Structure 1
Amino acid sequence: MQTRRSWKIVLAILTCNVVLMSASYTMLIPFLPLYLIKELGVAQSDVNMWNGVIFSVSFFIGAIMAPIWGKISDKKGRKLMAVRSSIGLAITYFLGGIVTSPEQLFMVRVLQGFAAGLWASELAIVSASVPAEKMGLSLGIMQAALTSGGVIGPLLGGVLAEVFGMRASFMIAGGALFTISLITIFFVQEPPREAGDVVDRKSVNQMELLKEPVIRQMLILAVLVQMVILILQPIITLYVAQLRGSMENIVLIAGAVFSLGGIAASISAPVWGRMGQKKSFGKIMYVAMGGAGICMLIQAIPNNLFQFAVMQFAGGLFFAGINPSISAVLASNTGSSVRGSIFGMLFSAQQLGSMAGPLLGGAVGTYWGLKEVFVVAGAIMILTSTFVCFTRKEIY
């Protein structure tokens, strides 16, 4: 049994790991088009094609592999899977810094898809290590760490690329992931199994898990939420430029505006987690989804950048309450013997949403208009909130 002091130490260590993990990823991905052009010699006319393929392939492979890695973690241990993923990601980042062609970078991203799963492993360790009454707060803190790294990463990546070059940024990111590996090996223990839990771990059947209504619905919600979160990615820069009426310094300004949502989420995620623990995660989920949907709809209205930036911040406050609630519901409705499988399936669902979001946002922005992207995203969140509101009492 984890002592009061030990679970706090585990949570603190894994929170630091998640910040490093998220920052390492986001310090590179936003600059991928520039890396393709300046370092790998891709023509300006071909960069969008290469960027899309290279960006998406890792999500695709990760979505396929995540349930498999999750099932293995239930049999072999969550710590082992965390070390596997962090070492694998470290290697792929190092390789990304020495490639000389877009084809080589594509293969590195394929390997990165196989290495993915660190976030799912960290969630599985935390959910099995903290007391049940602290689950909401702990998952909220982890979500805040993930979001904080997402805010820090692009800023740090921009500075590092300017000072040391983009190839050096890959090496630094690889070093950060290797550091996570060492921290996990020496300072994180395999979490204990719950009393009365299933002993025969070979009996884990993910198709059987999917037959449970609460698990199936949470995974579907995870796809939709992640899709909406990333739906803005292809159009945010163009929309900010449209509101400003100028393309001058647009990358810097769009990045700053987009980061406001991440800053807000970092602040509010632990608060949502604590409220979910006291009231119910289902209630917090539909309130957060509804608020996020309304904020998305309102973002289609402003004709000036300041109002849009304010709503970006407000939207971040609400979005922060959704994913920790989904994770907490899944953890609360499963035993620790299948927790790795559950969070592997959750990660797979989020990867699918990460693929679908930019594609949907790009299509709506191209054929309907930029404002309509926010309308579609807001409508999806409000409909999802309504669904959760009317079904949550039946199953969670």
Structure 2
Amino acid sequence: MQTKQNWKIVLAILTCNVVLMSASYTMLIPFLPLYLMKELGVAQADVNMWNGAIFSISFLVGAVMAPIWGKMADKKGRKIMAVRSSVGLAITYFLGGIVTSPEQLFMVRVLQGFAAGLWASELAIISASVPMEKLGLSLGVMQAALTSGAVIGPLLGGVLAEVFGMRASFMIAGGALFTISLITIFFVPEPPREAGDTSDRPQVKQRELLRNPVIKQMLILAVLVQMVILILQPIITLYVAQLRGSMDNIVLIAGIVFSLGGIASSLSAPFWGRMGQKKSFGKTMYMAMGGAGICLLIQAIPNRLMLFAVMQFVTGLFFAGINPSISAVLANNTGSSVRGSIFGMLFSAQQLGSMAGPLLGGAVGTYWGLKEVFIVAGVIMILTSTFVCSTRGNVY
């Protein structure tokens, strides 16, 4: 059994890992279209098609593979699956820096989808390593680390691409992921198993887990929440330009405005984790979802950029409470022996949401309007909040 000091050390190490992981994932986003055009020779007329295909294919493959890797984590060990993923991702990022055609980069992203699952592995390790009374706080800290990396990554990626070149940025991201592998190998212990839980114990089938209504509900909510988080991605730059009335320096300004939500989430995630542990994760979840939904609806109202930026920050404060609560409910409703499977399924659900969000946002923005994207997103979050509020007595 791990000592009190040990779980704190594991949490600190995994928090650093997650910051590096998230920054590595997101640091290439600002210049991927430019990389396709300037380094890989894609015509400007075709860049949106290639960018969309290359960006989304790893989500699709990752969604298919995540439950498989999760089941293997339960059987072979969570640490070895984390190392598998971080090494695989490091290799694919190195390959991304040496490709010479968009077809090659597409195949690299396919391989990246097969290597995915590091976040799910980190969640499985931490949920089995910390005392249950510290689970909410720990998941909140991990969520804050994930969001912090997502804020740092695009800013860092833009600077590195400017100073060292776009290909070098792939290499640096690969180096960060390889560093995660070494840290995990040497400093992260395999989490303890529950009494009677052995590697040769008969495995619970994932379809049996899905018969649990709580698990099924949480996975559906994970898809919807991730979809809403990414629904703004295709239209945020255009919406900021519309509010500002100018396209000058729009990429930089839109990036700053978009990052405000991430900064707010990083600050508030530990608070939501503690609140969930103290009050209940059901109450935390529906309050965070409802608050996020109302804020999204309000974001459709402002005609001034400053007001929109303020609401972007406030929205981020609420979003920080959702995913840690979902993770905590899943952990509380499953045994340690299936944590790898359950977080693999959660990762798969989030990958599906990541694919659906930009597609829905682009469609609504094109056929209805940019403000309507925020209205659709807000309505979805309010409906999910209402659902959780009405069922949480059966969940917690």
Normalising by structure 1, we get a TM-score of 0.99
Q: By how many angstroms is 1:202 displaced?
A: 3.2
1:275 corresponds in structure 2 to 275
Counterparts of 2:203 and 2:19, CA distance in 1:
34
Task: State whether residues 75 and 199 of structure 2, in contact with CA within 8 Å, keep that contact through their aligned partners in structure 1.
Answer: no
2:11 corresponds in structure 1 to 11
2:194 corresponds in structure 1 to 194
Structure 2 counterparts to residues 1-396 of structure 1, below 5 A: 1-197=1-197, 200-396=200-396
Q: By how many angstroms is 1:195 displaced?
A: 2.9
Counterparts of 1:116 and 1:251, CA distance in 2:
29
Counterparts of 1:277 and 1:3, CA distance in 2:
20
State the 4+ residue runs in structure 1 displaced beyond 4 angstroms.
196-200
What's the secondary structure of 1:203's corresponding residue? coil
Task: State whether residues 92 and 108 of structure 2, in contact with CA within 8 Å, keep that contact through their aligned partners in structure 1.
Answer: yes
What's the secondary structure of 2:300's corresponding residue? coil
Q: By how many angstroms is 1:292 displaced?
A: 0.2
Counterparts of 1:276 and 1:203, CA distance in 2:
30
Q: By how many angstroms is 1:394 displaced?
A: 1.3
Q: Counterpart amino acid of 1:375?
A: I
Counterparts of 2:189 and 2:258, CA distance in 1:
37
Q: Counterpart amino acid of 1:93?
A: Y
Q: By how many angstroms is 1:382 displaced?
A: 0.1
Counterparts of 1:274 and 1:331, CA distance in 2:
16
Counterparts of 1:45 and 1:188, CA distance in 2:
47
Counterparts of 1:333 and 1:157, CA distance in 2:
39
Counterparts of 1:25 and 1:192, CA distance in 2:
29
Paired residues in the alignment total 396
Task: State whether residues 75 and 202 of structure 1, in contact with CA within 8 Å, keep that contact through their aligned partners in structure 2.
Answer: no
Q: By how many angstroms is 1:194 displaced?
A: 1.9
Q: Counterpart amino acid of 1:68?
A: I
Q: By how many angstroms is 1:319 displaced?
A: 0.1
Deviations 1:51-70 (A, max 9, x none): 01001100000000000000
Q: By how many angstroms is 1:201 displaced?
A: 3.6
Task: Note the residue ranges of structure 1 that are not aligned, 5 or more in a row.
Answer: none
Counterparts of 2:373 and 2:49, CA distance in 1:
21
What's the secondary structure of 1:248's corresponding residue? coil
Task: Note the residue ranges of structure 2 that are not aligned, 5 or more in a row.
Answer: none
What's the secondary structure of 1:202's corresponding residue? coil
Q: CA RMSD in A?
A: 0.8
